[in-house]
A and B are shown apart, each in its own frame.
Chain A
Amino acid sequence: MKNYLLLVLCMFSFQVLFAQENISIRGTVTDASNGQPLIGAGVQVKGTTSGGQTDIDGNYTIENVPSNATLVVRYIGYLDQEIPVNNRAVINIALEVSASELEQVVVIGYGTQRKRDLTGSITSVGGEEIAKQPNLNPLSSLQGKVAGLTVVNSGQAGASPTIRIRGVNSTNNTNPLYVVDGIFQTNIDYLNPADIESMEVLRDPSSIAIFGLQGGNGVIVVTTKRAARGETRVNFQSTVGVQRVQKKIDVTDAAGFRQLYDQQLSNLGAAPFDYTNYTGNTNWQDLIFRDALITTNNLSISNSGEKTTTMVSLGYNNQEGVLKYDKHERFILRLNQEIRVTDKIKVGADLNGFHYNQQPAAANLNNALWAAPIVPVQTDATTYYAMPSFQRAQVGNPIATLNRNTGNVIDKGYRIVGSVFAEINFLNDFTFRSAGYANLGYNSIRRYNPLPFTELIVGENGQPNETFFNPLVRTSVGQEQAENRRFQQDHTLTYSKTINEKHFVTALAGFTTLFTADSRIVGNRQDTLLNIPRNPSFWYLDIVDQSTPVLTNEGRGNESALMSYFGRINYAYNDRYLLNLTIRRDASSNIAPNNRAGTFGSVGLGWVMSDEAFFENIKGIDFLKLRASWGTVGSALGIRNNIFRPGVTIANRAVFGDNVNTSIAPAYVPDPNLRWEVVRGIDLGLEMRSFNNRLTSEIVFYDRTTKDIITDLRLPGTAGDFTYTTNLGEISNKGVEISLAWSDNIGSDFFYSFAPNVSYNKNKVESIGPSFDFSILGNGGINRTITGESIGHFFGYRQTGIYQTAADLDNRASWPNSLPGDIAYEDVNGDGEITPADRVNLGSPFPTWNFGGAFSAGYKAFDFMVDVQGVAGNKIYTQRRTANFAALNYETNRLNAWTGPGTTNIEPILDNTRGNNYLMSSYFLEPGDYFRFRNVQVGYTFRPTGASAIGIKQLRLSISGQNIATFSRTSGYTPEAPLENPISSGADNGIYPLPAVYSFGVNATF
């Protein structure tokens, strides 16, 4: 202890000592070409960590600089400059535009690297691009920005998008890993888009190899904002917008419904329905949607002194859902501090506090689509019409449901993510860094189940109307609490040296552990005597006496751990020949001890051709790099905790008389040899800058194969319905990614840029199991995964038309029980009849093409931006149209249903008892291609000067529209069908609409 005190004391005096010898320097950093000040340029004292950043006017000040030191000035997109101080107090610096933005530094995991030295596929998206859009989740803003990245956005308040990097490479978990300032995360919901400095999408095996078993599906590295050095800065960003459903599903109104239901009953040979007392014409969809508010706000204050940098940021985001009364509210607090103890020692800490309030939607989309429009809504505040007898048992009054459920759930979450680190630089070239991270989450939910409303049951067939109040339903309350913990430690030793100006080496060795745990407890009680009031103050379990027999409770927990060693060498010879070697050894608690640890690695090579002597004669190309990488990575994301153990379930109860007994049955079928998936791939890339650096092009080919896929099989048929998790089969993804960027200016006032990207991915299941061959069916056999075809493709019959007449039936292949008006299917095998053998691969739910483009322009203080994006090559299954369990409202395509020979060749007869028309076929598929104007934004930037500035240095006002136009051929709310589950994706069961957002934004810096 005494020694430590001494140490601290010494550090203090050490600093004082330096101060005596040093001077203070100030100056301005400008663009050499036009003399404009450069904001945020880094000015550093060479060989130290001290320095600062230029302010809004390009000015900088550095204290305590040794009079004989050298300054290093850096700015992205410009060439570094070194200037000896030579005892000067004022040093103005003009930077030359760099040959390319390849000088940019990207975050690569446990370190950074110059973009020009990369040998893998990493795309960086800047924080400004992310924060510009009115999204709660930063990931939503990546849509269309990165080649090879599929983002499926949801309009649901607070929902996280589904992210796929380079296709689907597993039948199980295909989510990427998120690494936020070093900590491994499975989601980044707690981040405010305005707090993000950059997001890097790492796609190829050589880039992800350093992340081990968690990174096999690709990695998104998120770096949050730090204080800019050298000044105090206050920034306020805010967007306020309104969301509106762009497109509703076309369903019939009362007249249309009557027409179609009459037609159906007559086709069924049933008596006509008595509509006498059903006088409504209700558009249920209109009643469950609303125009909803969205707002994102961020206030950040940063300060950087000589020894410390501090940043405090406060955020408040609120999204109301367009489906009543969905709502998600976030409060975000961030604090980060870095202390430079000495030139060689740096310590720092980060703290992120996050709190959300969630109110789930009380309305149900399908309910509104299914409910018959002939029914009015209500007679008074507590009496609602019941649905007609033909659907009463299955469909409730959508507005009664909405009003009964509204506000019954109080869902709050809290999350703290923090880290501390210490970094020591020694022997000039070595840096040792230790960091500890913690992520603590806590959720608390309270629920209430109110009394039902009175139902008005409309009399049919001459019966009188009657009202009904169900006396059997009792009020109940529930409480749920869950906590989760995640602890991570990283220790890395980095050696970085340039030898003889030719050899540049960075070597890294590290050790890391990750521990995650969670637990959850849920209780419910029902009051059989009293009616608990509809007031949240009462919604605690104790409001119901314990002696009431109605009580359920449950609780569970999880723990898992991961431990790894890793190393990496980056070597560049003469800036021209690049080598990257990565190795990582991982051990996971989720894998049986006998094969718990595995070693993975990658090799990357690069050749900057444009630096070669022979290239000097080649005009027009400013930079050309070829790169290739190969890697083998493990992926264990799909393994549930302890699944290698023979877990049992005691949830099934045997009943004898009125005695209830617990039982034991396997919870699943364990595979004691379960291992990680092995992802292996090569990546070939070409990066080029041409036309005086105005055009940047990048083209990448990749070929990646996942072996030993962790497959969660619901064992079919004769094996019982146990889940069996095992290593099974092999899937390949091959593709091309092309990214272009053109930027130029016309005169000095107008600049513009256009950056399109497109990617193509081909997925193929090479095999599903070495020793046997069967198929994995998803979504009740709609999706099929078999050897030789793309994963989870739609499998069914191809519609060729409608059988028009009995003669038609004789002439064409048909089912034995086909009738005129039924869908005619293609006789694929030509045997003259339709049999299950005529089913074919009808297409993939996963897009083969993803594309996006960003156009931006600036004229004087105006800026303008248009982002477009889309996908192509996939199909969407309109599963919502297959519901035939009752008489439901019809989508308007059924107005064209077959009524006799020659009426239609597409829509079958209205008769939900003809099973042949409900078989999976191309009739239920729509092309999933779409093209969307994702963002259109116009901004104006003020740079007030003088007294009118009232402290404002810069102010940008903007108006924008998101999702303002989507062109697609789908009939649903949005063409983005869920792609969450690889083996049963692409079904539209009433997908939450993705609304258009019209918003106004402010970004002010003080």
Chain B
Amino acid sequence: MNNNKMRFLYKKIRNYGLTLALAVVASVFPACKDFLDRDPQGEYTEDTYPYPQGAGPYDQFLFAVYSELRDFDVHSLSFIAVTSIRSDDADKGSTPSDGGSNAIDMDNFPVTVNNGYANAMWEGYYNLITRTNIAIDQIQNNEAIEASPEVKVQSEAEARFMRAYAYFMLVRTYGRVPLITEVFDDPAAQSNVPQNNPAEIYAQIENDLQFAAANLPASWDPLFIGRATSGAANGMLAKVYLTQRKWSQALGAANMVIMSGQYDLSTPYDRIFREEGENSRESVFEVQATASRTFPETNGVQYAPIQGVRGAGVWNLGWGWNTPSAALAAAYEPGDPRRARTILFTSTTTEANEGLTIYGEKTPLGLPNPRYNHKVYTNPARRTAIGSQGGWWMNVRILRYADVVLMYAEAANEMGQTQEALDKLEMVRARARNGNPDILPPVTTASQTELREAIRRERRVELGMEHDRFFDLVRWGIAREALHAAGKTNFNENRDVLLPIPQNQIDISRGVLTQNPGY
């Protein structure tokens, strides 16, 4: 090869190199747009989600709301602390230092502004509200989902029932809270909404519940047992009215439940709180929970486990929190079988008869607490089958028929319909009597005051450990005397009827939220 040829070859190589490089670059350019469009892998978005059509197109959004009911911050620790440990029904339980100041302060006040349970409850219920608002927003605005007007209305009713329930918990717990009923365009601004007055909150709750009562079905297919019904909405509405002392409206709402024909008092008191008593004719609304060996916890709620017997080994059934108080134990009339069904008295060396569970097991000696909540006691056979001792499968009874009947009685008495009130009171006592004529004699007084006392006493024992006691005491205006009598002497009625607005939330809002009086 001579030099000329070499130069030629060199040039050729150079050209090839350039061409090759240009070709590489050029080949990439047309594909640019596609290259940068990357779909989510294995995840839906709102645009790609294959919304089910047909009967329940919004169910998926509503189910997200139901799922939130089982959340730890909605119906577990903070719920128990705020609604039960605060009341004269229960004490914190467990060992003295367990839970620290967060728990002790709930037991005997004051709850400090940094209390973790107060903050968790706030976040949990606002989460629930956000999900209801999202569901309503979808029903009203998502044109991708086709549904008949009837389906839309019913689905909206279901979401609004749950929103009302959440605000009802919040307004009774914190008083003034921000009222949020829509999905904000700028989500960050949502943390900076000022509080509304309780009257405004109650107006929204009533509005939502009236809508729900009018548009929800009276019952559901067994596949969907436990979904919100018109009975649940009316029952809840009765409680909302009662809380505001709107007696005739309360009576009317309770009557709607009674007249619905869906409920009765045929379920024995003993059975109501067993696993097999879930969703019985007694049940108006329950938080649904289940468990299996595969999912011993995921589909359940950490409600019973927090209150389970705090023993060792096979008696390690839970944390042993929310123990029935001595005051509650003393509140029952002689021989009332509901006492032993509500309170699990643990074994002691002196009282030989006590310490038996409803399943006949004898509790061990030396447990840290004398009493546990018997209403969350799980079936030992179920524990073995599921392979879990905690009892995540126990439903949370939110509203049951006896509660509605007693609300009716209370409203009737306040309206001077004494016989109506006596009749309804007797219905509840008769069931409790369970055929034993020697106990729980019928109440016969004609005095409104005496009957009021009788109904209040009945509410306490019938609904013991069922989370209404603190709110009842507050609405009756007798919280101070009751709590002081139960030894909770730090209670100050000018401060402790409401929890503090969590300092965390005030901090996040940078002062837009303001603190409750006394804190």
A126 within 8 A of B: no
User: Would A268 and B191 be within 8 Å (CB), given that A557-B41, A648-B44, A786-B510 are in contact?
Assistant: no
Residues facing A in B1-53 (CB within 8 A) are 1, 6, 9-10, 12-14, 16-18, 21, 24-25, 28, 32, 35-47, 49
Contact B288 A589 (CB under 8 A): no
Contact B366 A459 (CB under 8 A): yes
| Complex CA distance for A424 and B279, rounded to whole angstroms | 79
A186 within 8 A of B: no
A775 within 8 A of B: yes
Select one of B36, B42, B384 contacting A587, CB under 8 A: B36
Q: Considering the complex, give the chain B residue whose CB is closest to the CB of A555.
A: B42
Shortest distance in angstroms between A13's beta carbon and chain B's nearest beta carbon?
A: 6
| Complex CA distance for A657 and B219, rounded to whole angstroms | 14
Chain B residues with CB under 8 A of A345: 13, 17
Shortest distance in angstroms between B248's beta carbon and chain A's nearest beta carbon?
A: 34
Q: Which of B1, B38, B113, B293 has the largest count of A CB atoms less than 10 A from its CB?
A: B38
Residues facing B in A538-573 (CB within 8 A) are 549-552, 555-563
A-B contact count (CB 8 A): 355
Contact B38 A665 (CB under 8 A): no
B204 within 8 A of A: no
User: Would A721 and B45 be within 8 Å (CB), given that A772-B188, A913-B104 are in contact?
Assistant: no
Q: Considering the complex, give the chain A residue whose CB is closest to the CB of B59.
A: A661
User: Would A386 and B312 be within 8 Å (CB), given that A715-B191, A719-B190 are in contact?
Assistant: yes
B508 within 8 A of A: yes
Chain A residues with CB under 8 A of B64: 652, 654, 663-665
A694 within 8 A of B: no
Task: Produce 1/0 per residue, A664-680, CB < 8 A to B.
Answer: 11110100000000000
Contact B101 A913 (CB under 8 A): yes
Partner-binding segment picked from B253-261, B313-321, B448-456: B313-321
Q: Considering the complex, give the chain A residue whose CB is closest to the CB of B226.
A: A656
A264 within 8 A of B: yes
| Complex CA distance for A196 and B17, rounded to whole angstroms | 32
Partner-binding segment picked from A404-412, A608-616, A884-892: A884-892
Q: Considering the complex, give the chain A residue whose CB is closest to the CB of B111.
A: A915
Q: Considering the complex, give the chain B residue whose CB is closest to the CB of A918.
A: B101
| Complex CA distance for A681 and B13, rounded to whole angstroms | 45
Shortest distance in angstroms between A552's beta carbon and chain B's nearest beta carbon?
A: 7
| Complex CA distance for A665 and B188, rounded to whole angstroms | 18
Contact A561 B38 (CB under 8 A): yes
Task: Produce 1/0 per residue, B46-82, CB < 8 A to A.
Answer: 1101000000000111111111101000000000000
Chain A residues with CB under 8 A of B189: 771-772
Q: Which of A460, A515, A669 has the largest count of B CB atoms less than 10 A from its CB?
A: A669
Contact B510 A773 (CB under 8 A): yes
Chain A residues with CB under 8 A of B191: 715-719, 774
Chain B residues with CB under 8 A of A650: 44, 60
Chain A residues with CB under 8 A of B134: 665-666
Contact B122 A717 (CB under 8 A): yes
Contact A559 B290 (CB under 8 A): no
Total interface residues on B, CB under 8 Å, equals 122
Contact A884 B12 (CB under 8 A): no
Task: Produce 1/0 per residue, A578-590, CB < 8 A to B.
Answer: 0000000001110
Contact B187 A724 (CB under 8 A): yes
Shortest distance in angstroms between A654's beta carbon and chain B's nearest beta carbon?
A: 3
| Complex CA distance for A662 and B51, rounded to whole angstroms | 12
Contact A717 B225 (CB under 8 A): no
Chain B residues with CB under 8 A of A786: 510
Residues facing A in B107-144 (CB within 8 A) are 110, 112-116, 122-123, 126-127, 129-131, 134
B503 within 8 A of A: yes
User: Would A913 and B100 be within 8 Å (CB), given that A17-B1, A432-B18 are in contact?
Assistant: yes
A366 within 8 A of B: no
Q: Considering the complex, give the chain B residue whose CB is closest to the CB of A647.
A: B45
Q: Considering the complex, give the chain B residue whose CB is closest to the CB of A884.
A: B100
Residues facing A in B356-395 (CB within 8 A) are 364-366, 368, 383-384, 387-389
Q: Which of B115, B190, B320 has the largest count of A CB atoms less than 10 A from its CB?
A: B190
A237 within 8 A of B: no
B223 within 8 A of A: yes
| Complex CA distance for A817 and B227, rounded to whole angstroms | 45
Show 19 A/B contacts (Cβ-Cβ < 8 Å), sorted by A: A7-B16, A389-B95, A434-B24, A517-B41, A551-B294, A587-B32, A593-B36, A655-B70, A656-B220, A664-B63, A665-B134, A717-B126, A717-B191, A769-B188, A774-B192, A781-B507, A836-B507, A915-B100, A916-B112
> Hey, which bits of chain B sit against chain A, CB under 8 A?
1, 6, 9-10, 12-14, 16-18, 21, 24-25, 28, 32, 35-47, 49, 59-68, 70, 94-105, 110, 112-116, 122-123, 126-127, 129-131, 134, 177-178, 180, 184, 186-193, 220, 222-227, 278-279, 288-290, 292-295, 298-299, 310, 312-314, 316, 319-320, 364-366, 368, 383-384, 387-389, 490, 503-510, 513
> Other CB < 8 Å A-B pairs besides A472-B387, A887-B97, 10 of them?
A455-B313, A528-B387, A556-B41, A642-B43, A715-B191, A717-B126, A720-B131, A836-B113, A886-B97, A916-B101
